[in-house]
């Protein structure tokens, strides 16, 4: 406040420009594409949740990994050989798993931006007016719950490691002998790498490694980890999309192999 | 009419103004800061290189005496030696103080403030933050003002009880009672309404005069307001003939011509080449600097890694030398396509290192000229950068000859002599800003009675300010301004001749007549045409002062180069040119004064061999006597 | 080289106004601010525009060019087609004084609400010892030139005037982050960030980062880390439990 005493004769109000935006570029394109991309992903995820053909040789479909319930998982697909949920669990297996990576992505700082913009249009693009008359953001319920993101990260980190384990197991053939490399192996490995890059580039992870510290120099190892996470974090959006595409591709591929739709020799 | 009563009114919210205001407030004085722009936009943000302070963090051999010597050398011994002494002694404390207010300078390995090399400084001495040191400083001081306001809010319930910023407000006249300062008169840029400040002390911190030249690194604010206000109030200016042309300003595209390319480009390894690819600075090392600068490219290149064992590259000569060298190369037809020379850092440092050390230069060239400085050389040429001259002040208190008037920073004169070293201005602002604030506070404490502005002065000031709005069909102020800029640039620029200066003075006379007849269309609300018409008075007075002083000084020294008197004369070193206003306020007079001799303990810091280049026989005899005594 | 460009410039005082059309000469290498200045010098001497350094360092000439917040001095004319009409308006989030000049005092008000740097009482000037890696994060935020374009573009206040009292805006979130990450600052800034400065209003849609002329990663490096630090303090039971058990300070 620098001009409190100067009594201005001029009435102070914003420039009265009655258009939503004066932008002349195609500002609507990005939200439309984002909307479509997220929508397709949701549809696929919903279908995959109920699909039971998740195992093809040593490949397991990422959406159904780890297999936690004996009733729905064939032998060998279990988490380190166990079925923690035993026989009593009858619901679709995907439901057990997808809540966690789903929640991780839902509360992810990048995805929040993408769906606030494209689904909720708050705002649809920079300097384009949003259609809502009231706005409180993440300052109260329910959106204040977004702050649980770090807990989803803990679980997502475990799931990322399980997907890596699955990718390692995919180097076995259908009989369990090591040395197999098929197209599925490559797809699962690429997927695991992208998922790890996305998961460990998470803003919460960056905070946990060293972001919360004020003296990097007193914690050289944590600072190193932070530097690495920061590099991944700078590409968080790219990894979010890349891993989302790769996980759908990997999942669909395994299911199509399991269903016998794909059956060429190097599958 | 809006009226405010304060103890101290500080005009200008750059480094010097803010530091003065902080000091006055810390000493319990009610302080107003009046500035033409928004708070925090002052020209200080443009300073890039750093603040020179002999902290000895990088080279422990550095101390105030070395800094003092460098400053005097840079100013060609025309400096006010007391100012140079105070500056060298107090700069480290001022820099450390900033750190305690939240400034984050770049660090050395052991966690201290890092210091960089700069032209004319014997050791790495400039505290810096990348290449945006000025911004760091202005922000720190701005936040210090806010901190004091928060304190006042807790104590008095009003954050503006003791220090208040009047932003976008221009002062057009100082008010007096008899000889003494009684206040200031100005207008709000926003509304055009007038405002009067009643205050026994005014600190001028208005910066420089660059807007009287076409090619300048200065912003529109640099219209010499403080210089003119001081003269109009009866104070004197000194050293007005000395104007620093920074050797490296951008030359292309035309719209950014003059914008600064920081000296740190050269400090960090950048070299100057002409169109033939030659590092021409080796051809321009003057005799007085022969033993301090490398004579071969090999030695110069070794210096960047081993500064103790090698002499520094000639690219780091003081600014006046480099500017003249570039000027000569361009005149000899060895310039770059757009009329400058090449400054190349792309072949000297890896790209990542360039973007780390010179981020804002990289950004500036990329955005403004579409040049990637990590891949190609820049084109640079001299640009009007700094005026060494200014209000004649007392070194210890910043007091001008008019009681109650103080000045600090670029608007004051003497500290830098005939040429300022890079990095010495940011520390100058801090050291003398504080001293002027303290000086004003002490002056008030000693006052028996607060002067009250003489009746009629306010009315006269009001009529003067309104005149351009009330005329119709007069001169376009933009055209008058543009002609003044071209005249000063072409005729009183980097190289001067007696006939050309004479011609310039004739043009200025004509422009003065035209300026009296300017008319500004539109209302009083934020009307830039009107503001310019008012500023023209100041620019014309200052330009006349520069031209008249330049005509009189028949030698070449620092920021004053006479084609017809190319040498430096020891006789002229003893003379100061003092500018005063003519009694009818229509123009200026210049008179010769004697430059006081240096105190004996200070002059003994120099070797006789060096002094022989600058001093008269008589002065050398005094030196011999001083040395014998000690 | 030169050509005639079509400009639509918002003109008016105190909010009331309209877009006026101009045809004006443009030369090679010029930026939008040059063209505005040419308008002043040749056609509309009283066209109000704020500017200072003309080098992208002071942050005075913020305006909206074709609907986007930009610095007039850093927007090159060569980025537009020659036959394109270029629309220039004042910042939309702040009251207009005249033409392109807005009253940005909101920001100075908010600046005063953030408690200043608070060092420990026993450290004297000259005794500060900090490693470069410990100051680098805060240094990024101190690059801010206070152009207030992030404040202007943020939909929290751009589209909802009523949020202004409860929301300090991106400029002051980076200020809070700068101080919270400062190795010597001892003031508590996490709870006030959420409770007084409205950090929770931010839905990280990143327009502040998009418009920042200094390319400060406002969202990724300041707002999100601050949100995480607030979670530590206010919402994470594990951290709370840990701090009780290990008696960690804060």
Considering the domain architecture, whether residues C79 and C189 belong to the same structural domain is answered as no
Please give, rounded to a whole number of angstroms, the shortest distance from the CA of B100 to a CA of chain C.
6
Which one of C13, C104, C116 has the shortest CB-CB distance to B525?
A: C13
Please give, rounded to a whole number of angstroms, the shortest distance from the CA of B212 to a CA of chain C.
15
Is the per-residue pLDDT at A6 higher than 60? no
Cβ of C108 within 8 Å of Cβ of A139? The answer is no
Distance between CA atoms of residues B325 and B277, nearest Å: 15
Query: Which 8-state DSSP code applies to residue B593?
Result: E
Number of domains in chain C: 2
Picking from C142, C151, C195, C147, the residue whose alpha carbon sits closest to that of residue C170 is: C151
Interface pTM, i.e. ipTM? 0.94
Is the per-residue pLDDT at C247 higher than 90? no
Considering the domain architecture, whether residues C58 and C149 belong to the same structural domain is answered as no
CATH domain B244-385 topology: Flavocytochrome C3; Chain A, domain 1 (3.90.700)
Cα torsion through A20, A22, A24, A25, rounded to 10: -60
**Residue A86 pLDDT level (bands cut at 50, 70, 90):** low
Which one of C68, C87, C163 has the shortest CB-CB distance to A127?
A: C68
Is C120 a domain residue?
yes
Cβ of A6 within 8 Å of Cβ of B188? The answer is yes
The alpha helices in B116-224, defined as continuous H runs, are 133-156
**A12: exposed, middle or buried (Cβ count in 10 Å: 0-12, 13-18, 19+):** middle
Mutant choice from B30, B108, B166, B197 vs A, greatest count of A C-beta within 10 A: B166
For the annotated catalytic residues of B, the residue numbers are 319
Residue with the larger pLDDT of the pair B629 and C176: C176
Residue of chain C minimizing CA distance to B520: C45
Distance between CA atoms of residues B337 and C42, nearest Å: 30
The pTM score is: 0.93
Please give, rounded to a whole number of angstroms, the shortest distance from the CA of A51 to a CA of chain C.
35
B 22-81 residues with CB below 8 A of C?
37-41, 43, 45-46
- Contact present, B50 and B132 (Cβ < 8 Å): no
Considering the domain architecture, whether residues C111 and C88 belong to the same structural domain is answered as no
The DSSP string of B487-533 is HHHHHSSSSB-HHHHHHHHHHHHHHHHHHTTB---S-STT-HHHHHH
Please give, rounded to a whole number of angstroms, the shortest distance from the CA of A6 to a CA of chain B.
8
Distance between CA atoms of residues C121 and C98, nearest Å: 46
Distance between CA atoms of residues B342 and B279, nearest Å: 10
Is the per-residue pLDDT at A4 higher than 50? no
Q: Kindly list the residues from chain A whose CB atom is less than 8 angstroms away from the CB atom of residue B38.
A: 2
Residue A88 structure tokens: 């009593």
Furthest CA-CA distance within chain C: 73
C117 — contact with chain B (CB < 8 Å)? Answer: yes
A5 — contact with chain C (CB < 8 Å)? Answer: no
- Contact present, B618 and B610 (Cβ < 8 Å): no
Residue of chain A minimizing CA distance to B191: A8
pLDDT attached to residue A82: 64
Which structural domain, as residue segments, surrounds residue C213?
105-245
pLDDT attached to residue A176: 82
**Mean of the pLDDT values across residues A225-244?**
97
Cβ of B167 within 8 Å of Cβ of A8? The answer is no
DSSP lists the bridge partners of residue B194 as: B187
**Mean of the pLDDT values across residues C230-237?**
90
Cβ of A216 within 8 Å of Cβ of C133? The answer is yes
Q: Kindly list the residues from chain B whose CB atom is less than 8 angstroms away from the CB atom of residue A2.
A: 38-39, 165-168
C-alpha C28: how far from its chain's center?
Answer: 30
Q: Kindly list the residues from chain A whose CB atom is less than 8 angstroms away from the CB atom of residue C12.
A: 15
B150 — contact with chain C (CB < 8 Å)? Answer: yes
DSSP lists the bridge partners of residue B306 as: none
Is the per-residue pLDDT at C235 higher than 80? yes
Which one of C55, C111, C139 has the shortest CB-CB distance to B256?
A: C55
Is C250 a domain residue?
no
**Mean of the pLDDT values across residues C138-149?**
97
For residue range A208-233, what is the model confidence (pLDDT) as tens digits?
A: 999 999 999 999 999 999 999 999 99
- Contact present, B17 and B150 (Cβ < 8 Å): no
Which one of C27, C52, C215 has the shortest CB-CB distance to B37?
A: C52
pLDDT attached to residue A93: 66
Domain locations along chain A: 29-258
Distance between CA atoms of residues A4 and B190, nearest Å: 13
For residue range C182-220, what is the model confidence (pLDDT) as tens digits?
A: 999 999 999 999 999 999 999 999 999 999 999 999 999
**Residue A12 pLDDT level (bands cut at 50, 70, 90):** confident
Cα dist. C157→A21, A22, B514, C164 in Å?
16, 18, 48, 6
Is the per-residue pLDDT at A79 higher than 70? no
DSSP lists the bridge partners of residue C81 as: none
**Residue A2 pLDDT level (bands cut at 50, 70, 90):** very low
**Residue C83 pLDDT level (bands cut at 50, 70, 90):** very high
Domain locations along chain B: 244-385, 600-629
Residue C21 structure tokens: 């059309």
Give backbone dihedrals phi and psi of B113, rounded to 5 degrees, phi first: -70, 125
> Tokens 């279908």, residue?
A47
Is the per-residue pLDDT at A1 higher than 50? no
CATH of the domain at C79: 3.10.20.30
- Contact present, A249 and A183 (Cβ < 8 Å): no
Q: Kindly list the residues from chain A whose CB atom is less than 8 angstroms away from the CB atom of residue B158.
A: none
Residue C221 structure tokens: 């490096």
Distance between CA atoms of residues A55 and B542, nearest Å: 87
Q: Is B301 helix (H, G, I), strand (E, B) or coil?
A: helix
Considering the domain architecture, whether residues C89 and C114 belong to the same structural domain is answered as no
- Contact present, A224 and A195 (Cβ < 8 Å): no
Distance between CA atoms of residues B180 and A236, nearest Å: 65
> Which mean pLDDT values do the consecutive 10-residue runs of chain B (630 residues) have?
96 98 98 97 91 96 97 96 98 98 97 93 94 95 98 96 97 97 96 96 97 92 96 97 95 86 88 95 90 91 88 89 92 91 94 88 88 94 95 98 98 96 96 98 97 94 95 90 95 94 97 94 90 96 98 96 94 96 95 94 94 94 88
DSSP lists the bridge partners of residue C31 as: C76
Cβ of C105 within 8 Å of Cβ of A3? The answer is yes
Q: Which chains touch C (3 or more CB pairs under 8 A)?
A: A, B
Give, in degrees to the nearest 5, the angle at Cα B135 between B383 and B319.
Answer: 30
> Tokens 């470069």, residue?
C132
Distance between CA atoms of residues B132 and B295, nearest Å: 32
Is the per-residue pLDDT at A250 higher than 90? yes
Give, in degrees to the nearest 5, the angle at Cα B591 between B588 and B592.
Answer: 155
DSSP lists the bridge partners of residue B187 as: B170, B194
Give, in degrees to the nearest 5, the angle at Cα B600 between B595 and B606.
Answer: 90
Distance between CA atoms of residues B9 and B440, nearest Å: 10
**Contact residues for A43 (Cβ-Cβ < 8 A; gap 6+):** none
pLDDT attached to residue A74: 60
Considering the domain architecture, whether residues C12 and C119 belong to the same structural domain is answered as no
Cβ of A13 within 8 Å of Cβ of C64? The answer is no
Cβ of A9 within 8 Å of Cβ of B160? The answer is no
DSSP lists the bridge partners of residue B51 as: B127
- Contact present, B443 and B204 (Cβ < 8 Å): no
C-alpha B70: how far from its chain's center?
Answer: 18
Please give, rounded to a whole number of angstroms, the shortest distance from the CA of A227 to a CA of chain C.
11
Q: Is B247 helix (H, G, I), strand (E, B) or coil?
A: strand
Cβ of B45 within 8 Å of Cβ of C58? The answer is yes
pLDDT attached to residue A80: 63
Distance between CA atoms of residues B47 and C58, nearest Å: 11
């Amino acid at each position: 406040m620098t001009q409190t005493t100067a009594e201005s004769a001029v009435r102070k109000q914003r420039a009265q420009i009655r258009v939503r935006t004066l932008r002349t570029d195609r500002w609507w394109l990005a939200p439309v594409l984002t909307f479509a991309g997220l929508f397709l992903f949701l549809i696929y995820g919903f279908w995959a949740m109920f699909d039971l053909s998740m195992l093809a040789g040593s490949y397991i479909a990422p959406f159904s990994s780890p297999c936690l319930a004996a009733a729905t998982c064939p032998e060998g697909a279990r988490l380190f050989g166990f079925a923690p949920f035993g026989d009593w669990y009858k619901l679709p297996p995907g439901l057990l798993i997808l809540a966690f990576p789903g929640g991780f992505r839902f509360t992810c700082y990048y995805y929040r931006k993408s769906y606030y913009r494209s689904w909720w249009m708050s705002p649809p693009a920079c300097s384009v007016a949003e259609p809502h008359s009231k706005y409180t953001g993440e300052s109260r319920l329910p959106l204040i719950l977004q702050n649980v993101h770090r807990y989803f990260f803990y679980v997502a980190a475990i799931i990322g490691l399980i997907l890596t384990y699955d990718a390692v197991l995919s180097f076995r053939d259908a009989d369990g002998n090591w040395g197999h490399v098929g197209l599925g192996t490559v797809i699962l490995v690429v997927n695991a790498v992208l998922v790890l890059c996305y998961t460990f580039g998470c803003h919460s992870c960056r905070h946990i490694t060293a972001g919360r510290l004020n003296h990097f120099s007193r914690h050289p190892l944590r600072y190193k980890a932070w530097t690495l996470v920061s590099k991944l974090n700078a590409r968080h959006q790219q990894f979010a999309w890349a891993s989302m595409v790769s996980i759908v591709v990997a999942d669909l591929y395994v299911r199509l192999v399991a269903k016998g739709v794909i059956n060429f020799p190097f599958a | 009419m809006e009226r405010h009563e304060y103890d101290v009114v500080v005009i200008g919210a750059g480094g010097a103004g803010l530091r003065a205001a902080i000091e006055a407030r810390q000493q319990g004085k009610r302080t107003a800061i009046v500035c033409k722009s928004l708070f925090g936009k002052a020209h200080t943000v443009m300073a890039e290189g750093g603040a020179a302070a002999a902290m000895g963090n990088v080279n422990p051999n550095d101390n105030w005496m070395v800094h003092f010597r460098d400053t005097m050398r840079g100013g060609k011994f025309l400096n006010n030696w007391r100012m140079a002494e105070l500056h060298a002694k107090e700069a480290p404390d001022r820099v450390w103080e900033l750190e305690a207010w939240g400034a984050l300078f770049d660090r050395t390995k052991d966690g201290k403030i890092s210091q960089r090399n700069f032209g004319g400084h014997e050791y790495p001495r400039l505290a810096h933050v990348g290449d945006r040191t000025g911004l760091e400083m202005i922000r720190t001081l701005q936040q210090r003002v806010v901190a004091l306001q928060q304190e006042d809010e807790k104590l008095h319930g009003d954050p503006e009880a003791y220090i208040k910023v009047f932003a976008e407000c221009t002062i057009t006249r100082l008010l007096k009672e008899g000889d003494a300062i009684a206040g200031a008169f100005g207008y709000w840029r926003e509304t055009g309404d007038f405002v009067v400040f009643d205050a026994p002390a005014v600190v001028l911190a208005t910066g420089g005069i660059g807007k009287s030249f076409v090619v300048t690194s200065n912003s529109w604010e640099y219209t010499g307001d403080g210089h003119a206000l001081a003269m109009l109030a009866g104070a004197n200016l000194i050293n007005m003939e000395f104007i620093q042309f920074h050797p490296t300003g951008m030359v292309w595209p035309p719209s950014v011509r003059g914008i600064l390319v920081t000296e740190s480009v050269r400090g960090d390894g950048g070299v100057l080449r002409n169109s033939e690819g030659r590092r021409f600075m080796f051809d321009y090392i003057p005799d007085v600097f022969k033993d301090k600068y490398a004579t071969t490219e090999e030695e110069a290149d070794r210096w960047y890694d081993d500064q103790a064992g090698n002499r520094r590259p000639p690219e780091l000569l003081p600014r006046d030398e480099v500017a003249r060298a570039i000027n000569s190369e361009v005149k000899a037809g060895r310039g770059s396509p757009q009329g400058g020379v090449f400054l190349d850092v792309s072949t000297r440092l890896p790209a990542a290192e360039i973007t780390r050390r010179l981020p804002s230069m990289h950004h500036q060239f990329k955005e403004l000229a579409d040049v990637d400085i990590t891949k190609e050389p820049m084109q640079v040429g001299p640009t009007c950068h700094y005026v060494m001259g200014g209000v004649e002040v007392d070194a210890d208190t910043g007091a001008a000859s008019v009681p109650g008037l103080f000045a600090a920073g670029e608007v004051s004169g003497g500290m830098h002599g005939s040429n300022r070293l890079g990095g010495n201005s940011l520390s100058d602002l801090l050291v003398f800003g504080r001293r002027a604030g303290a000086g004003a506070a002490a002056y008030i404490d000693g006052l028996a009675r607060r002067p009250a502005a003489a009746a009629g002065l306010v009315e006269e000031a009001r009529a003067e300010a309104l005149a351009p709005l009330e005329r119709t069909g007069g001169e376009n102020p933009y055209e008058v301004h543009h002609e003044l800029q071209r005249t000063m640039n072409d005729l009183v620029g980097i190289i001067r001749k007696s006939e050309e200066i004479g011609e310039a003075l004739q043009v200025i006379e004509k422009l003065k007549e035209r300026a009296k007849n300017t008319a500004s269309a539109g209302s009083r609300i934020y009307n830039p045409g009107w503001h310019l018409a008012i500023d023209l008075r100041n620019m014309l007075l200052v330009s006349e002062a520069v031209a008249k002083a330049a005509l009189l000084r028949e030698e070449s020294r620092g920021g004053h180069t006479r084609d017809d008197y190319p040498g430096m004369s020891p006789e002229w070193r003893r003379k100061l040119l003092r500018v005063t206003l003519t009694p009818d306020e229509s123009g200026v007079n210049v008179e010769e004064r004697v430059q006081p001799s240096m105190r004996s303990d200070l002059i003994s810091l120099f070797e006789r061999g060096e002094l022989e280049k600058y001093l008269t026989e008589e002065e050398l005899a005094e030196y011999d006597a001083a040395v014998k005594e000690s | 080289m030169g050509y005639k460009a079509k400009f639509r410039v918002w003109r008016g005082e105190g909010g009331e106004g309209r877009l006026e059309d101009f045809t004006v000469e443009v030369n090679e290498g010029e930026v939008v601010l040059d063209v505005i200045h040419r308008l002043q010098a040749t056609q509309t001497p009283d066209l109000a525009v704020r500017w200072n350094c003309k080098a992208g360092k002071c942050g005075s000439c913020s305006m909206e060019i074709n609907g986007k917040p930009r610095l007039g001095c850093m927007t090159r004319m060569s980025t537009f087609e020659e036959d394109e009409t270029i629309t220039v308006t004042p910042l939309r989030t702040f009251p207009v004084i005249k033409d392109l000049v807005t009253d940005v005092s909101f920001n100075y008000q908010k600046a005063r609400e953030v408690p200043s740097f608070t060092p420990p009482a026993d450290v004297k000037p000259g005794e500060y010892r900090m490693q470069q890696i410990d100051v680098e994060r805060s240094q990024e935020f101190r690059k801010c030139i206070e152009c207030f374009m992030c404040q202007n573009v943020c939909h929290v206040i751009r589209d909802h005037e009523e949020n202004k009292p409860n929301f300090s805006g991106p400029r002051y979130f980076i200020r809070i982050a700068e101080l919270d990450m400062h190795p010597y600052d001892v003031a508590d800034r996490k709870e006030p960030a959420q409770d007084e400065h409205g950090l929770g209003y931010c839905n990280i849609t990143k327009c502040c980062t998009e418009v920042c002329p200094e390319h400060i990663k406002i969202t990724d490096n300041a707002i999100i880390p601050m949100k995480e630090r607030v979670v530590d303090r206010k919402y994470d039971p594990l951290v709370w439990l840990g701090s009780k058990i290990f008696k960690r300070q804060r």
